[in-house]
Structure 1
Amino acid sequence: MRTGTASLPLHGGHCPPWLFERMKRLGPAILEVIVREYGPQEVLRRLSDPHWFQAFGCVLGFDWHSSGLTTTLCGALKEGIRDREKDLGLVIAGGKGRTSRRTPEEIATAADRLALTSLQPGDLVYASRMAAKVDNTALQDGYQLYHHVFIFTFDGRWAVVQQGMNEMTRLARRYHWLGEGVKDFVCEPHAAVCCDAKGEVLNMVASEGQASRQVVTELARQRPQKVVAEFNRILERELPNLSLPWRHDVPRASYLNKALLKVYAAQPRDFAAVLGVEGVGPKTVRALAMVAEVAYGAPASFRDPVRYSFSHGGKDGHPYPVDRRVYDHSIAVLERALAAAKIGRTDKLQALKRLAKISP
């Protein structure tokens, strides 16, 4: 299930090296405590919670409210657990921009390097691609994905943290997924969506859009010439009392015909298979949804499915500058507790656990 989203202002700049190096140490140390207490699957559950993820980023001292928290936190965790995956039972693949497109390769490489013979890398690659396709193509809310991180355990459980950008509003939206709750990638995979504002979106994964998904799948199996002809007839005639709030230009017939040829050749069995065809993007899905609604009476849904804490301050001085002495002390306390636990002395970790229970 997709467990939630967060909307954040876009923020440029870079994380200063002195802070990133500390994040690489403190972040994995916190994850190791969670793994020791609850197991690696608990890390997936927490990273898939947008509120916990936001608080985690604030604990590590990054901007509490900006898009940079997502990319920097994920980058620090990925770098920080490198060569420690066997200790944690976790692997982090993907990242920002071009790195996100190497996620399938990184999943397969990690499975081979760590000798995870019981793992099915193909299933994880499929989950990674479908999570991205749903949030970028099936749910068209105006945010173009540019960051995708896939976290998985050695027994094949997974979570996704990905982020999209809306250049017009200068906002970013972060999407969280948790694999253990996914029953259907294309029907209400989101358990919760947290956002300050709702907009007009094309939501092809809404429960009320089942008829639209079925008709779109049937259209995808028809000859492209027939679908394009129907599409052109819709554009040419006046349609009273019809409101279709497309956010982008309607695709040209030449482009649509080319995309539909690929789908027609694949003969997809269901809507998830339609999304999985290479080259099928938002414009193709919008066009098919329009034909499904106007020509076949199968309406699509336009329903938008959409806390933080401070421990060490924030990079830009909000709510106060990062206190490097306190930050280093936090790292030292956790690292000493973890080192002691590895030789059977768990008293320090137990003390931290008791402290958490009495904290307000």
Structure 2
Amino acid sequence: MAKRAGSADLPLHSGRVPAWLGQRMTRLGRVIAEAIVHHYGRDEFLRRLSHPFWFQSFGAVMGMDWHSSGITTSVIGALKRGLGPVSGELGLHVCGGRGRHSRETPAELAAIGARVGFDGAALAAASRMVAKVDSAAVQDGFDLYLHGFIVADDGKWVVVQQGMNGDSRLARRYHWLSEDLKSFVEAPHSAIDGRNQGRIVNLTDRRAAPSRAAQIGLLGDFGPDGIVREVATLEGRLPPPPEQPLLPHLVMPARHEVVAGDVMMRRLHGALAAAAEAGPRDFADLLAVPGVGARTVSALAMVAEVVHGTPCRFDDPARFSLAHGGKDRHPYPVATRVMDETIAVLKRAMGQAKLGNDERLEAIRRLDDQARRLERVAEGPDFDRFVAGERAASAGYGGRSVFGPEPFGPEPVAAPAARRPAK
């Protein structure tokens, strides 16, 4: 059966991603995907996309609202734009999207299949089945409006799709992974993201197997005997089904603000300490891009964790919004200059790696390793002081949000640095 990864609550947000952010998300999403494929392969990148905690963190590190449903649409869109030009090189293709784009998925799969050699018709059928299961077999009050289908040249795929409930103003995200998928109708999801809103009909649950079998039986034997057998099932005279394991559950609040409780501070302090301590000393070549300093290295440490981190590292997605900020000005405006420097460093490192020189990519990996070591001992500012410092310095970092560029105010005060404790 398919891997299942968990669930999350996503408040439903309207609006569009501004062009200045969408373009940066496209570039950053592409180079992060390239780095993951380079280090771990295409299969691992598909597994990452099927994990709801990682997916949310991926969107947050790219400057999207850390908690909202908009991450789903914007990440799928950024990957479709970013990976399109390198799909032949990476062997990855992003199909579908929001609204009418979702309905174009079967045609896109058929065209790509004809070009690269997989069975596009079979994958188009899988795409339709996935959408049908989450709209009919899982009746939870959410109407699908987005369907993203990411497929590799060897035919392996992941689906990320999302539904909305207009009354509750919530969205639910569904993750599917083709790896080990044995059935479309029994526990097929890698994850379902959304708040429990009471009783639902989920005919894909393992415990619904007797119900599915009974429904098929009724179709073939629609008469008194079939009805009697169905009543016996409902009255519990058949053996109880096995228990289903609990899944991780990510809860995204409706509030926009990032608060201290959303962030594991020891991990943040580790990244900041690695930037302050290791960056200037060990990453001279990495920092050869003009203007790159400790602030960019701290952002790189969080991007490096998105590339190299294991699933348990992403249970506080809000932390990754601290890399570059958020478009809604929470936790602070997007630091566009820092984001541009992050992209430049990663692109230069990937360019060298493609020529056989992995040193710069390995430097980024070492930065992640250093941050993990230091988080056990690093000390630093409390959350409110850190955010206040970043907001004060925002204009100097090219701070921008949906409300416009950040104005220059009084002389900015730098955010306090994290450090290794004195011995």
Q: TM-score range by the shorter chain?
A: 0.7 to 0.9
Q: Residues of 2 paired with 1:184 and 1:138: CA distance?
A: 13
AA partner of residue 332 (structure 1):
A
Measured at CA, do residues 62 and 78 of structure 1 come closer, stay the same or move farther in structure 2, by a change above 3 Å?
same
Q: Residues of 2 paired with 1:358 and 1:164: CA distance?
A: 40
**2:175 — aligned with what?**
176
**1:280 — aligned with what?**
none
Q: Residues of 2 paired with 1:326 and 1:153: CA distance?
A: 32
Give the alignment of 1:248-259 within 5 angstroms: none
2:367 is equivalent to residue 350 of structure 1: no
CA contact 2:10–2:172 (8 Å) conserved in 1: yes
**1:256 — aligned with what?**
none
Deviations 1:96-125 (A, max 9, x none): 11111111111111122xx322x1223322
Q: Residues of 2 paired with 1:69 and 1:191: CA distance?
A: 18
CA contact 1:48–1:177 (8 Å) conserved in 2: yes
CA contact 1:212–1:293 (8 Å) conserved in 2: no
**2:36 — aligned with what?**
34
TM superposition shift of 1:343: 1.5
CA contact 1:120–1:156 (8 Å) conserved in 2: yes
Q: Residues of 2 paired with 1:4 and 1:140: CA distance?
A: 18
Measured at CA, do residues 315 and 170 of structure 1 come closer, stay the same or move farther in structure 2, by a change above 3 Å?
same
Measured at CA, do residues 341 and 14 of structure 1 come closer, stay the same or move farther in structure 2, by a change above 3 Å?
same
2:24 is equivalent to residue 12 of structure 1: no
**1:341 — aligned with what?**
353
CA contact 2:10–2:193 (8 Å) conserved in 1: no
**1:116 — aligned with what?**
116
2:115 is equivalent to residue 147 of structure 1: no
TM superposition shift of 1:297: 3.3
2:159 is equivalent to residue 160 of structure 1: yes
Task: Give percent identity, aligned residues only.
Answer: 47
The 3-state SS of whatever aligns with 2:339 is helix
Q: Residues of 2 paired with 1:82 and 1:71: CA distance?
A: 16
Q: Residues of 2 paired with 1:98 and 1:220: CA distance?
A: 34
Q: Residues of 2 paired with 1:93 and 1:210: CA distance?
A: 32
CA contact 1:34–1:43 (8 Å) conserved in 2: yes
Deviations 1:1-52 (A, max 9, x none): 2533332111111111000011111101000001111111111000100000
CA contact 1:215–1:292 (8 Å) conserved in 2: no
Q: What are the ranges of 5 or more consecutive residues in structure 2 without an aligned counterpart?
A: 250-315, 373-423
**2:296 — aligned with what?**
none
**1:67 — aligned with what?**
69
AA partner of residue 168 (structure 2):
T
2:103 is equivalent to residue 101 of structure 1: yes
2:21 is equivalent to residue 22 of structure 1: no
AA partner of residue 41 (structure 2):
G
Higher relative contact order (CA 8 A, sep 6+): 1
CA RMSD of aligned residues (A): 2.4
TM-score where L is the length of structure 1: 0.75
TM superposition shift of 1:194: 5.5
User: 312, 315, 324: which one pairs with 2:327?
Assistant: 315
Measured at CA, do residues 194 and 79 of structure 1 come closer, stay the same or move farther in structure 2, by a change above 3 Å?
closer
TM superposition shift of 1:165: 0.4
Q: Residues of 2 paired with 1:101 and 1:85: CA distance?
A: 21
CA contact 1:4–1:48 (8 Å) conserved in 2: no
Q: Residues of 2 paired with 1:102 and 1:296: CA distance?
A: 43
**1:46 — aligned with what?**
48
The 3-state SS of whatever aligns with 1:212 is helix
TM superposition shift of 1:136: 1.3
2:92 is equivalent to residue 80 of structure 1: no
Q: Residues of 1 paired with 2:228 and 2:159: CA distance?
A: 32
Measured at CA, do residues 110 and 343 of structure 1 come closer, stay the same or move farther in structure 2, by a change above 3 Å?
same
Q: Residues of 2 paired with 1:88 and 1:292: CA distance?
A: 54
Q: Residues of 2 paired with 1:28 and 1:293: CA distance?
A: 57
AA partner of residue 7 (structure 1):
D
**1:188 — aligned with what?**
187
The 3-state SS of whatever aligns with 1:12 is coil
Q: Residues of 2 paired with 1:209 and 1:19: CA distance?
A: 44
CA contact 1:107–1:125 (8 Å) conserved in 2: yes
Give the alignment of 1:255-294 within 5 angstroms: none
Aligned residues: 291
CA contact 2:174–2:191 (8 Å) conserved in 1: no
CA contact 1:4–1:175 (8 Å) conserved in 2: no
**2:264 — aligned with what?**
none
2:358 is equivalent to residue 359 of structure 1: no
